[in-house]
A and B are shown apart, each in its own frame.
Chain A
Amino acid sequence: MPKKALVTGACGFTGSHMLELLADEGWDVVATDLEGAERDAYYTEAEGDVPNPVYYRDIFEEVGAEFIPADITKQSTLYPVFEDHDYDVVFHIASLFDYFAEWDVLHKVNIEGGRNIGEVAAEHDVGHFVHWSTLGVLGDAGFDEPNKEDAPYEPHNRYCKSKVKQEEVLHELHEEEDLPLSIVRPAPIYGPRHGYGVYHILLLLRKFGFAPVTRIYPRSKQLMFPCVHVHDLVNGALFVHENKEETVGETYHVLSDCIGQDELIEFLAESLGVKKKRIPASFGAYKLYGRIAKWASHRIERQAREKGTRPKVDASMTHYLTHNMWFSNQKIKNLGYDFKYRDARKGLWDYITWCKEKGMV
């Protein structure tokens, strides 16, 4: 008899890939998400506060999954999802991933929504609860060693703060209600159908028409960039579930080996066919330019809010370019997980090809 999984946020970017993977692996899958019309209404209500909705309406039909609509912000709508189903695992992906969103919307969806589904899952004794967090709950790693899973929380924007609170809420449920919780913390995700976050770096370079490759000196102050291909992420989450005897109560970083920012930008420039401009800079000068860029991007964001629109690139994204977001993936590797795209450049090459075919870059 096939194992049974519930995927929340199933019509989103990551959720749709999770559905496809589970269907390929022969799982019995239940998909849940907001119903199309409800989602449209929600995004209209939250005008200007959310990115263009990513909603793959037909994905559950394509993979043959049962779809039960629910809204995680309304706990009563979650009970029908759990009734008459005995889940081996819940992959809780549903979240509002938006650096531009206001705190009350993030609180409602990510924190209260996380609590709602965690409580219902605990009540129904699910076999395993794999929760999607983000590496953004941690901060700048410094230059000695990458941040590991036990590093202290240091969120840099409202979205990441909401993910910290979400982790805390679910940890409480793990300790008090025996929710069999595992947490995966993905780096910024990319892959087919992706259009927010890593995509904005590609868009920025293509719209600039040139790529500033900043070589920071001394080289020991090199800044790193974390990212993960959605294929590695969903397979990593499934791997965490398959090893649940060891992974319950644990947190895992899921990302390719971090790459230097100058190497990354150089690679992207070559792949996108934009002109490279190598700029050697002292660390102090780079930090100064970074602060100016950050100030300018926050100013543009404020102007955009005043005009009732949103900036082309959310201001918080500049944080990844001015801080050393260096993270270790050793813990999940030690467990035996083998990344397909251990070198991010291989995954990014595939993704850029997809973007080019779709006319996105």
Chain B
Amino acid sequence: MLVSPFDVPAVALIGFVGAFVYARFLKPRNPDWYPFIGVGTVGLFWIHAVLAVAGVSPLGVDVDNSLIGVAYILSYPMWFRWASERAFVLFGRGSEQGGIAWVLRVRDTTEGFEPDWEKE
């Protein structure tokens, strides 16, 4: 592995939790939060990878240069997206949605819909 075998699970976990937080709390404030989280997360992991290759990883990670390792690093956005899609399906894509969990719960914690003509 080029950097660490824990990178992909970490990116996926951040993608899943980030998507939930985005849908429930951040989207109503600014719908651009999802790309911000995605670019920010993947960007941080890539910067760390570059630092690791340069031998100055703040976490002290050793690198093993290989073609598979490069592919592994390039796949971070895909794993972020894959995990966040799972979260969107389970919990919905916005505060007015609840995903599959909506129908399984007796209590409805989602918000109502706005009439179309009141949207900006």
Contact = CB atoms under 8 A, between A and B. Distances in A.
B102 A312 contact: yes
Contacts of B113: 206, 359-361
B97 A207 contact: yes
Contacts of A41: none
A360 B98 CA distance: 15
Contact of B100 (A208, A297, A313, A357): A208
Contacts of B5: none
B102 A359 contact: no
B94 A209 contact: yes
Interface string B90-103: 00111011111011
B89 interface: yes
Interface residues of B, number: 23
A275 B99 CA distance: 12
Given A206-B97, A209-B93, A210-B89, A357 B103 contact: no
Contacts of B58: none
Nearest to B88: A209
A65 B97 CA distance: 41
B106 A209 contact: no
Given A206-B113, A356-B116, A296 B104 contact: yes
Contacts of A311: 106
A209 B115 contact: no
A297 B102 CA distance: 12
B62 interface: no
Interface of A: 204, 206-210, 275, 296-297, 300, 303-304, 307, 309, 311-313, 356-361
Which 7 pairs of residues, A with B, have the shortest CB-CB distance? A359-B115, A209-B97, A356-B116, A209-B93, A209-B92, A207-B102, A359-B113
Contacts of B93: 209, 275
Given A207-B97, A209-B92, A300 B112 contact: no
27 contacts: A206-B96, A206-B97, A206-B113, A207-B92, A207-B103, A207-B110, A208-B89, A208-B97, A208-B102, A208-B103, A209-B88, A209-B92, A209-B93, A209-B99, A210-B89, A296-B104, A297-B103, A300-B106, A307-B106, A312-B102, A312-B103, A356-B115, A357-B115, A357-B117, A358-B115, A359-B116, A359-B118
Given A208-B97, A209-B94, A209-B97, 5 more contacts: A204-B103, A207-B102, A209-B89, A304-B106, A312-B108
Nearest to A309: B106
A292 B19 CA distance: 28
A275 B89 CA distance: 10
Contacts of B97: 206-209
A273 B51 CA distance: 43
A297 B103 CA distance: 8
B120 interface: no
Nearest to B94: A209
A36 B102 CA distance: 33
Contacts of B96: 206-207
Contacts of B99: 207-210
